[in-house]
Structure 1
């Protein structure tokens, strides 16, 4: 039997392309500190965290090489048909699908990147609703963390960024992450 994993989740929106992407990277708890050390070692002297959208192409290659060496496994939900006026609705659909998918794996904890008090409260209410509808397994424990405090959230940020570019035809970053990341498509219209 596989040991339990924790899932770290971040998202990327490509409103102009009608896409909402949600990436979950599975980390075995016994490797969490090793991964954190690798990630902290990638910080430049003026950085407090890694963030895909802030990086130039050369640096992105370096990040993909380092993350690819960790052989990340996980799930990326690609929500298509995003209406710019209904981004939160699209995000909720992606989160619901992602939590269901994670329930099919050996995941016990799911950690989302914090988005702010009001938005996080909305997410918490959605989790309560999903539990009430039995749309997610009761064993999943869901929490929210700041990426400044939890380096493991940097991995799904990078994965979501690479997946987003792959959707636009730039597949080199995505290919550098290996083949243990599955992609699930969902119409969010």
Structure 2
């Protein structure tokens, strides 16, 4: 039997459109190192990590096409109705929905891009609450990784960025990613 996939997770916001997006890319253990090498190969000189918001349009196309060539599967949760002052609430609602989706896909480990110890601890508290309410099984392991040290968290960053553009009508980069990426929308207000 194959070991379960790991899901690498990152978020994107488009506050002006009232959107909070959380993307998960499923990575089979046998593919993890190949994906890391492909992603590291995209780094420019003196660049320590990839980050969607720091890239120009031409470069974003290159990133989306590279991720698309890896044939990702995953899910993007699009939370609509984002209130500018309630971003952490929107994150919790999107995370709860995403984790439910990942449980149903048999994921064994969820790797979040670290947002710093304070915000990571807020996520941990939420996950603990989900476990006590039997909304998240103990078999799912959740960890937070530094994006400089773990290139696989760059993939959901790219997917979330492309999906956020698609939500406002710029669909070409999401089409470049292709693969089996499911988009689920729901209201976070």
| Aligned-pair Cα RMSD in Å | 1.0
What residue ranges of structure 1 are gaps of 5+ in the alignment?
none
User: For this pair of structures, how many residues does the alignment match?
Assistant: 189
Distance 1:187 1:159 in 2: 20
| Aligned residue in 1 for 2:108 | 108
Q: Is the 8 A contact 1:12 1:164 kept in 2?
A: yes
| Aligned residue in 2 for 1:119 | 119
Indicate how the Cα distance of structure 1 residues 119 and 112 shifts in structure 2: closer, same or farther if over 3 A, else same: same
| Aligned residue in 2 for 1:128 | 128
Distance 1:110 1:56 in 2: 29
Q: Is the 8 A contact 1:2 1:106 kept in 2?
A: no
Equivalences for 1:38-187 in 2 at 5 Å? 38-187=38-187
Secondary structure (helix, strand or coil) at the match of 2:126 reads helix
Secondary structure (helix, strand or coil) at the match of 1:111 reads strand
Distance 2:46 2:131 in 1: 42
Distance 2:177 2:106 in 1: 21
How far has the Cα of 1:23 moved from its partner?
0.2
| Aligned residue in 2 for 1:24 | 24
Distance 2:131 2:21 in 1: 23
Distance 1:159 1:4 in 2: 21
How far has the Cα of 1:136 moved from its partner?
1.6
Distance 1:84 1:138 in 2: 33
What residue ranges of structure 2 are gaps of 5+ in the alignment?
none
Secondary structure (helix, strand or coil) at the match of 2:185 reads strand
* Structure 1 residue ranges, 4+ long, deviating more than 6 angstroms after superposition: none
Give the TM-score normalised by structure 2: 0.97
Give the TM-score normalised by structure 1: 0.97
Distance 1:90 1:115 in 2: 16
Distance 1:156 1:118 in 2: 22
Deviations 1:4-51 (A, max 9, x none): 100000000111110000000000011100100011111111210111
Secondary structure (helix, strand or coil) at the match of 1:45 reads coil
How far has the Cα of 1:106 moved from its partner?
2.3
